[in-house]
Amino acid sequence: HAKKKQRVRVVEYWIETARECFNIGNFNSLMAIIAGLNMSPISRLKKT
């Protein structure tokens, strides 16, 4: 389960980064991160 925990940490990192982008008004980067998190390979991680 070490890989699963690492994947969770990476996704949490990008969510926190997206929040910071929102807070500072960097909406281009925010949308890029959201688009990346919405990609099929990332969405499939919910099943693991």
Q: Is it the case that residue 48 has pLDDT exceeding 70?
A: no
Q: Is residue 48 part of a domain?
A: no
Tell me which residue range forms the domain holding 39.
2-43
Total number of domains in the chain: 1
Q: Per-residue b/e over 2-41, b at no fewer than 16 CB within 10 Å?
A: eeeeeeeeeeeeeeeebeebeeeeeeeebeebeeeeeeee
Higher pLDDT, 46 or 13: 13
Q: Is residue 12 part of a domain?
A: yes
Q: Is it the case that residue 1 has pLDDT exceeding 80?
A: no
